[in-house]
Structure 1
Amino acid sequence: MRFIRKSISVIEREIELSKLVHDMRNSVGHNIFVFGSPYHSNLGDQAQSYCIERWASTNYPGHRVWVLDTMLLTFHDYQLLKSIRNIIAPTDRIFLHSGYHTTDLYMLEEKMQRKVVTMFPDMRVVILPQTIYYQNPSQLEQAKIIYNAHPDLHLLCRDDVSYETALQEFPDCHPAMFPDIVTTMIGAKLYTHPRKGIFLCVRNDKEAFYSKTRMEQLRDDLASIDDVTVGDTTVDIPAKEIIAHRGEVLEKTWDDYSKYRLIVTDRYHGTIFSLVAGTPVLVLSSSDHKLSSGVKWFPPEFSDYVKYIPDIDDVPDEARRVYSKKLDYVLPPYFQDKYYSKLKQLIVD
């Protein structure tokens, strides 16, 4: 029975690929390819896909935007990528999905990224904002050889540590600093819900810095201030369902975040989601530089709404400080205006 289910799954995927390639042929020369979107239930990564598609559709009218996930792209030894290689035209455009892909922590995404860079040496390839981090020197050396060899690769970095790494290790890749694209949603929404309680948005994976026991203690400490709800940006909804209803799922999530008076998180996208909702957020450390560097993007006018807390013991006092402030819970569209309204002109021919 397992073999039959697997066979049906493979046949369905083959049919899906065949239809995709057929439709791509019909819009050759007017395709925007976004390679490496997520096929999992982390809403932060899904929000990147949502915002990339939104940005591309706005900036390339008349083009068809294809947001293609890593599982689909790596299926059957990169069958879909090979088909696209056969039909792509010089006026099509290639983007690699933003996130934590330029790393050896998640090798599926890194290998897919390397494959695209290797297969399309004649096309401009733009890698959307990345966190860059390698534990294994040999993996870094392989990445350097592949990325620096591409004649027209543009690598955007979403924090200063990644940018410094790119300048040193990937100097031929036009490194540039650019914030995470989900920041374009900050200032795009206005919420007027009554605000109550604290949301503790914490991760439980290899990037976690604090133990589960320490987070439970923090929850108990915050409960002396107000009701505490614990959750994460990774949710219990199948990835396929999220992808099919990405906009609705994200809109509901941001609406939920807007009902809290304070959010405490060790998630980078938990931080951004809080600010989309206009909710003050205290930012904890993760196991790498992603959060400590990422919060540096926020300008002084955001100071009442976001603060990095390097010592978790200081969180309860900071939470009380936030509770003592009178806020209007409204933020400007700073990142859209300052950065993403100008991205296209930076990467045009």
Structure 2
Amino acid sequence: MKSELKRLLQLIVIFFKAFFTFKKKVWLFSVPSHPNLGDQAQLMCTEKWIKENYNGYKIIEMEHLLSPFPHFNMKVLALNVDFWQHIILKMVIRKDDVFIGHSGYFFVDHHGGWYSYDYLLRYWTNKFIILPQTVNFYAPVVKQRVSKDFGNKRNLTLLCRDEVSYNNARGMLGTTNLLLYPDIVTSLIGTREYKSLRNGILFCMRDDIEAFYSPADIDGLMQRFGNIRKEKIDTTLHISEKEMKLHRDRLINTMIEKISTFEVVITDRYHGTIFSAIASTPVVVINSADHKLSSGVKWFPKEFGLNVQFASNLEEAFQKVSSILKRKEHLDNPPYFKENYWDKLFERLL
């Protein structure tokens, strides 16, 4: 009941923000509230990109949306927050408003995030840009629905964040505009300089169903490096959503600064990889449970040298990290993704 009341109050705030303005609006949907620094860094960079490219537009952010109509009969619609959400959005969205879908791992069977974008496509025809997604549907019935609802949409551009996702989408979505694009957090690579004294190995490891290696496997790898400075962290923090919202930018920047104090990072986190590249700290990437890491590493061109490497198993990871520790040289990463992708996206959407 508390969560429903909270959502209703948020809708009232959104109504007043959107209704009483003469500005065009950018609607940013499916924004994260949970304390995952990778997702929050995507939001931070997305807000920055919108402000740079939609000057004068009012930005309105919403979390995941659900359509009320398949699930509720008319007798109970009036008591349903999703119904009032639909009514309010119909009142305040104008035809020249722009929709932007937050990046993520939404286009997969077990994640409900793509339902939000499906709902928006069903009831509005506004220009719609969905930022980089991993596309990995596997159930035929889900693929059929996605193909029907997202395919051949003239108002939609879907950015795919690796070649596997791009090819998966191309096989389902017909004439819908698809772009192969890196994660938006890569726009920060090469834009910052860190002068930290670097020492030791940082393990940035996930602890969820997407982990490929067990905690015992990782602990065993850590022990092989002996008495060198070592630390294990995750990009998901154990803090409240309120604290995340209040201190988001500081928490993200603190994490990247911490990474800049290590000689090398081992990670199975995609944003652990990107944060390391922002800090120009060499990173060895190991597998997660799907193609996201092995495909994501392919984005990094020869300009990054040995600063971003993939290891197909833990023995290879050990050898690559050992080689980096012996090398004792430092290479600052270039702003490759900013200059070649994110500075050019807006003109590619015109």
Specify if TM > 0.5.
Answer: yes
What is the rounded CA distance, in whole Å, between the counterparts of 2:190 and 2:308 in structure 1? 14
Q: Note closer, same or farther for the CA distance 1:82–1:126 as it changes in structure 2 (3 Å cut).
A: farther
Match of 1:57 in 2: 51
Q: Compute the displacement of 1:61 (Å).
A: 1.1
Counterpart in the other structure of 1:206: 209
**1:214 offset after TM fit, Å?**
1.1
**Identity over aligned residues, as a percent?**
33
Q: 1:111 to 1:328 in 2, by over 3 A?
A: same
Question: Residues 72, 190 of structure 1: CA spacing in aligned structure 2 closer, same or farther, 3 A cutoff?
Answer: farther
1:134 is matched with which residue: 124, 133, 137?
137
Change (3 A) 1:276 1:82: farther
User: What letter is aligned with 1:48?
Assistant: Q
Given that 2:66 and 2:119 are in contact with CA atoms closer than 8 Å, whether structure 1 keeps it comes out as no
- What residue in structure 2 maps to residue 294 of structure 1? 296
Q: In the alignment, is residue 112 of structure 1 matched against residue 90 of structure 2?
A: no
Distance 1:101 1:217, change over 3 A: same
The residue number in structure 2 matching 1:33 is 27
In the alignment, the residues of structure 1 paired with residue 88 and residue 153 of structure 2 have an alpha-carbon distance, to the nearest angstrom, of 21
Q: Secondary structure at the match of 2:159?
A: strand
Aligned length: 339
Q: TM-score, normalised by structure 1?
A: 0.92
Query: Does the 8 Å CA contact 2:202/2:232 hold for their aligned counterparts?
Result: yes
User: When the two structures are superposed, what TM-score results if normalisation uses the length of structure 2?
Assistant: 0.92
Q: Is 1:182 the equivalent of 2:188?
A: no
| 2:230 aligned to which of 212, 228, 231 | 228
Q: RMSD value over aligned CA atoms?
A: 1.9
Alignment of 1:140-155 (within 5 A): 140-148=143-151, 150-155=153-158
Q: Choose the corresponding residue for 1:337, options 336, 339, 346.
A: 339
Task: Report if aligned partners of 1:101, 1:113 keep a CA contact under 8 Å in 2.
Answer: no
Describe the shift of the 1:277–1:246 C-alpha distance in structure 2 as closer, same or farther (beyond 3 A).
same
CA distance in 2 between partners of 1:184 and 1:338 (Å): 10
User: What SS class does the counterpart of residue 132 from structure 2 fall into?
Assistant: strand
CA offsets 1:121-180 (integer angstroms, 9 cap, x no match): x21111111100113221111111110153321111000000111111112221110110
Partner AA of 1:99 in structure 2: G
SS at match of 2:30: strand
How has the CA–CA distance of structure 1 residues 127 and 82 changed in structure 2, closer, same or farther, with 3 Å as cutoff? Answer: farther
Q: Which whole-Å CA distance do the structure 1 matches of 2:67 and 2:249 have between them?
A: 23
* Counterpart selection for 2:163 from 160, 165, 173: 160
Higher fraction of helix: 1
Secondary structure in 2 matching 1:144 = helix
State the SS of the aligned residue for 1:77: helix
Superposed CA deviations along residues 209-262 of structure 1, whole A, max 9, x for unmatched, are 11222112112123x262210111111121232123221111111111111111
Mapped partners of 1:28, 1:172: distance in 2: 34
Q: Distance in 2 between matches of 1:230 and 1:296?
A: 25
Q: Check conservation: 1:282, 1:309, Cα contact below 8 A.
A: yes
